[in-house]
Structure 1
Amino acid sequence: MISYAKGIVKSILSARKGVTEIEVEIGRENFKAINYDFLTGQVAVGDSVLLNTTAQDLKLGSGGYHFVVSVNCGEGFVAKNAPGHIMKLRYTPLQFAVLSAEEEDSPYHSIFNNFSGLGRKPVIIGELHSMVAPAVFGVKRNRPKLKVSYIMTDGGALPLSFSKTVKYLKENNLIDGTVTYGQAFGGDIESVNIYTALISAFEILHSDVAVVAMGPGITGTGTEYGFSGIEQGPIIDAVNNLGGLPIFIPRISFADKRKRHCGISHHSITVLNKVAMSSANIVVPKFSGNKFDCIQKQIDENTLNQKHKIIYVDELEKLTQDLLSFDFKLSTMGRGIDKDAEFFITAAAAGYYASSI
């Protein structure tokens, strides 16, 4: 099912590199929409736009936006010749080519043939995009001079430019570069897969720490294996295969009303128990009272400590202050740090641990 609608651009709400956020009128109602400038061209007030409205029609979480498919039926769009032949959005009407770091025309091509290993460099692995900022905060508050990169998978949003989190982190010099791989696009470095993305982060961007997580959004079905965050298993294995140190952020919450996500989410348990073939360092903050007892019970019942290494972090007050020291509104599933503190503290703890290695 694809839902389309025609609209008229009423105003430009904001603009950042590669993205224009607009207000459009459909019928007699106004809606927010996203235009990816390099895919569909520049947009201006008064333009007629064709919109993909599918996600909003289904009441799905896409940030509350429709997405521009065409501006004035493509009139005035100027094609730009650019290097590269690795296709993104393959076999769709919007497919386009990028220069990946690995391909022969890339100045970095030889790096991949000469690569020997990551040398136990830390790689923080998270399920949700909302883990990225607190993990980075945990690194930078502990050791500000470390170089941090963000590797965005294609498990959520595909355009990196959609992320306001990445915009904030880059503008405030908290991440030094970005890599996108698979069908995700828009990073400072484009790569074909997780292996070459990791090599790019450490050998091209010269990172001390990399954070790997999907872009905004996640697919879930309420089943054991039916969620896009299952990608964390192969990512753990890739880090180990390349000689890195995988640091896993467990998805921990006591605010989520769904029982399967209470304490350590069933997503994390499935990834660690049944999907990852190798070991990771799981960072667990020492929360007080019943909350820590609940987490410890889940660790014991699922024998996570037999396959993986559990890293306990007890600097909870410091981690909380670290999170609050940035002028950034933390949010996951519509909840801020005031309602879901354990979620954000866990991500920050992973960053803190990674920076201490």
Structure 2
Amino acid sequence: MPLGLRRGTVTAVVEALDCLVRLEVDGIPCVAYPRLTGEVEVGDEVLVNEQARQLELGSGGFDILYANLTRGIGLEAEEGAHVMALPYTPGQVALRRAEEDGELPAALGGVPVVLCTLHSQVVPVCAALAGLRVAYVQVAGGALPVSLSDAVRVLKERGLVGVAVAVAPCLDGDVDCVTSAAAFAWAVREGYDAVVCAVGPGIAGTGSALGHGALALADAANVAGALGG
């Protein structure tokens, strides 16, 4: 199925955060990721992806800003970035990866890695770990942009999560990694006491035993065990 894009005009900015903007395009709810598509203001001419909303999916109650034709053309890549996220897709973008910033430990040294098969489990798990320095690691299986999660944002504000790490193809975290192994090792190198790993909100499901986004946590479990977590 091809991309479901439409052209429209921003008619309202409902909430503007550093990493997420909730807006309306021609009166229809939409979200934008300003670190990826640039700033957005009322009156901007934009392209939005409306496919999930048109299909009436559980995660499709709003459109996604695909490109800002008014102020999002010619944006420069992140300084020093050369590894592509979403490579060879229409949305590919260069991001700097944590693996590029020095050596990572070869083992986790017993640091616990807690796996959440639903994004809604992240809040109670992090609450139970209060007092520890916790790194949140997001893997594929639900929403890819870490910045979509209000839960993670509130956990960071309350000091229950110290950093949010995106593992490719996830993106737009405080830190971006190519692999979960690197994400776990990075958290250990940076002195975190525990890692909470989950899929993002809006988990993918097909109604079959094997076609469920939470199975990504099986891979994460294997990685954590192999590295001594």
TM-score, structure 1 normalization? 0.61
Structure 2 residue aligned with 1:139: 129
**Corresponding residue for residue 230 of structure 1:** 215
Give the Cα–Cα distance (whole angstroms) in 2 for the partners of residues 81 and 3 of structure 1.
28
Q: After the TM superposition, which residues 147-166 of structure 1 pair with which residues of structure 2 at under 5 Å, given as runs?
A: 147-166=133-152
Find the partner of 1:124 among 102, 114, 120. Answer: 114
Mapped pair 1:172 → 2:146: no
Task: Flag the structure with more relative contact order, 1 or 2, with Cα contacts below 8 A and sequence separation at least 6.
Answer: 2
C-alpha distance in 2, partners of 1:186/1:172? 20
* Whole-Å separation in 1 of the counterparts to 2:39 and 2:129: 37
Deviating 4+ runs (over 4 angstroms): 73-77
The AA in structure 2 aligned to 1:186 is D
> Secondary structure of 1:23's match?
strand
**Unpaired segments of 5 or more residues in structure 1?**
245-357
1:218 aligns with 2:203: yes
The alpha-carbon deviation at position 93 of structure 1 amounts to 2.1
SS in 2 for 1:169: helix
Deviation of 1:75 after TM superposition, in Å, equals 6.0
Partner of 2:32: 35
In structure 2, C-alpha distance between the alignment counterparts of 1:77 and 1:163, rounded to whole Å = 28
Q: Which residue of 2 aligns with 1:60?
A: 57
Residue 130 of structure 1 aligns to a residue whose secondary structure is helix
Q: Which residue of 2 aligns with 1:282?
A: none
Structure 1 counterpart of 2:205, one-letter code: G
**Conservation of the 8 A alpha-carbon contact between 1:40 and 1:74:** no
Cα distance in structure 1, aligned partners of 2:93 and 2:68 = 17
Q: Paired residue for 1:192?
A: 178
How many residue pairs end up in the alignment? 228
Question: Sequence identity of aligned pairs in percent?
Answer: 35
Q: Deviations over 1:114-166 (max 9, x none)?
A: x24222221110111111111101111xxx2x111100112211111111111
Partner of 1:70: 67
Partner-residue secondary structure (3-state), 2:137: strand
For the Cα contact (< 8 Å) 1:40–1:77, is it kept in 2? no
* Paired AA for residue 36 in structure 1: Y
Q: Is the 8 A contact 2:108 2:185 kept in 1?
A: yes
**Alpha-carbon contact 1:49-1:68 (below 8 Å) kept:** yes
CA RMSD of aligned residues (A): 1.7
Answer whether contact 2:52 2:60 (CA < 8 A) is retained: no
Point out where structure 2 has 5 or more consecutive residues left out of the alignment: none
Q: Which amino acid aligns with 1:216?
A: P
TM-score (norm 2): 0.93
Residue 128 of structure 1 contacts residue 217 of structure 1 at CA under 8 Å; is this kept in 2? Answer: no
Once residues 217 and 146 of structure 2 are traced to their aligned partners in structure 1, the CA distance between those partners, rounded to angstroms, is: 19
